[in-house]
């Protein structure tokens, strides 16, 4: 059985947020911000349950985009260009992820957009992973209408495509594709009837107004994404952003809280950068309303906390995977 966690949002005259209003949330006293975010979390979610997604890079390296944070771009020295994984390898990894407790399996590819041939293989992967009883997610770059339809028919539950940053800062990071291209792909995914997973990266040198600008773009989508990954930049060797100054961890926590307040019913995912975070900072992120993580020792090319470390952290915090029952009620 597929563990579908969410019905698509029916919209809804949700609030339209100005960037200034969001910036004001960022500037609240920390305790006030955390208190409000935790209250909103409790209106919509079990505050101790965490949704677990495992990532697999099904096609690594050699990408024709120039995203400044990414080690898979052929514009800068990073990982080598590998060929796409075979369907059987993907299914094996998905089975292992399910065994370890993940509810969703996300397949990522270093493409600007998939070709027709790529789509044939991905459709097969999606069908087989879904047949295991897992939720499916893919992140393959830009999609056209025919491709969104193919993925929907195959049974894809979520499509991940990030806005990455505010429109005003975007040109500092990526030059090979426009902000509007990203919005168009998200619109097609929504129109095809799949759940939208879209978020961004913080700590790329953006200022507070630009961080608020990213959240405004996401929160003002109609409807806003069901899943919102907030990534802390992982500074990967060879990328133009490798030497960027560290973001104050409390500013990362604030970003999670502001995402929670502006998108109350979304799963807010504490995404890339967890391996470099202390348990205490992660605990603050959960308090701020994060209720989803990437689970498994690898993201796409970068590391993620070991499963044992995450299990220990969940135990320490009295948290449990979304699919499991609260141990205290068992
Ligand atoms: N090629 C597809 C695309 O760009 O849409 C899918 C894969 S891409 C790696 C998915 C997302 O991962 C990016 O949009 C970005 O938000 C995030 N990401 C990539 N490298 C990162 C890094 N070094 N630190 C944090 N997030 C990163
Ligand atoms: C998302 O927002 N973060 C994930 C997923 N969506 C595809 C990717 C993080 C990538 C981190 C760098 C790497 O592994 O290369
Ligand atoms: Fe390519 Fe995606 Fe990396 Fe950009 S983020 S270079 S599109 S793999």
**Which atom of ligand 2 is found nearest the CA of 160?**
6
If we measure between CA atoms, which residue out of 40, 38, 21 comes closest to residue 30?
Answer: 38
11 or 125: which leads in pLDDT: 125
Joined tokens for residue 73: 């771009």
Q: Is the pLDDT of residue 328 over 80?
A: no
Q: Of 104, 130, 190, 269, which one is the catalytic site residue?
A: 269
Q: What are phi and psi of 160, to 5 degrees?
A: -95, 125
Catalytic residue, candidates 182, 188, 197, 211: 197
Q: Distance from first CA to last CA of the chain, Å, rounded?
A: 21
Which of 137, 128, 130, 125 has its CA nearest to residue 53? 137
Ligand 2 binding pocket includes 249 (Cβ within 6 Å) = no
Residue pLDDT, tens place only, 19-31: 999 999 999 999 9
Q: At what angle do helices 19-26 and 208-219 cross, to 10 degrees?
A: 120
Question: What's the CA gap between 289 and 236, in Å, rounded?
Answer: 27
- Percentage of the chain with pLDDT > 70? 94
Q: Is 285 a catalytic residue?
A: no
Mutate to test the pocket of ligand 1, among 70, 165, 244 (most ligand atoms within 8 A of CB): 70
Q: What ligand 2 atom has the least distance to the C-alpha of 108?
A: 7
Do 323 and 103 meet the contact criterion of CB atoms below 8 Å apart? yes
Q: Which helix (H) or strand (E) holds 53?
A: strand 49-59
Reported pTM: 0.95
Taking alpha carbons only, the member of 162, 155, 219 closest to residue 192 is 155
- Position 83 scores a pLDDT of 97
* Residue in the structure block whose two tokens are 């759940």: 195
Read off the tokens for 162: 């990030």
**Cα 70 to ligand 1 centre (Å):** 6
The whole-number pLDDT of residue 325 equals 53
pLDDT digits (tens, 9 = 90+) for 279-306: 999 999 999 999 999 999 999 999 999 9
């Amino acid at each position: 059985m597929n563990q579908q966690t969410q019905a698509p949002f029916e919209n809804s005259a949700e609030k339209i947020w100005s960037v200034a209003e969001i910036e004001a949330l960022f500037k609240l006293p920390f305790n006030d911000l955390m208190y409000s975010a935790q209250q909103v979390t409790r209106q919509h979610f079990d505050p101790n349950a965490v949704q677990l997604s495992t990532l697999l890079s099904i096609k690594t390296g050699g990408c024709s985009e120039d995203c400044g944070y990414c080690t898979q771009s052929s514009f800068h020295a990073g990982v080598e260009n590998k060929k796409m994984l075979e369907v059987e390898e993907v299914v094996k990894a998905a089975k292992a992820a399910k065994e370890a407790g993940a509810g969703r399996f996300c397949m990522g590819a270093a493409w600007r957009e998939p070709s027709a041939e790529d789509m044939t293989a991905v459709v097969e992967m999606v069908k087989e992973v879904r047949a295991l009883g897992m939720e499916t997610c893919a992140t393959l770059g830009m999609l056209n209408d025919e491709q969104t339809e193919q993925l929907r028919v195959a049974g894809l539950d979520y499509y991940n495509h990030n806005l990455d940053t505010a429109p005003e800062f975007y040109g500092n990071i990526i030059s090979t594709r426009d902000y509007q291209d990203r919005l168009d792909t998200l619109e097609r995914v929504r129109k095809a009837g799949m759940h939208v997973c879209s978020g961004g990266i913080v700590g790329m040198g953006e200022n507070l107004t630009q961080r608020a600008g990213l959240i405004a773009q996401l929160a003002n989508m109609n409807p806003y994404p069901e899943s919102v990954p907030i990534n802390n930049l992982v500074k990967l060797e060879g990328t133009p952003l490798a030497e960027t100054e560290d973001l104050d961890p409390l500013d990362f926590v604030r970003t999670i809280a502001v995402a929670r307040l502006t998108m109350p019913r979304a799963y807010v995912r504490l995404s890339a950068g967890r391996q470099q975070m202390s348990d205490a900072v992660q605990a603050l992120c959960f308090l701020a309303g994060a209720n989803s993580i990437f689970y498994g020792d690898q993201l796409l090319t970068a590391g993620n906390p070991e499963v044992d470390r995450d299990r220990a952290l969940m135990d320490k915090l009295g948290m449990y995977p979304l699919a499991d029952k609260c141990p205290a009620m068992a």
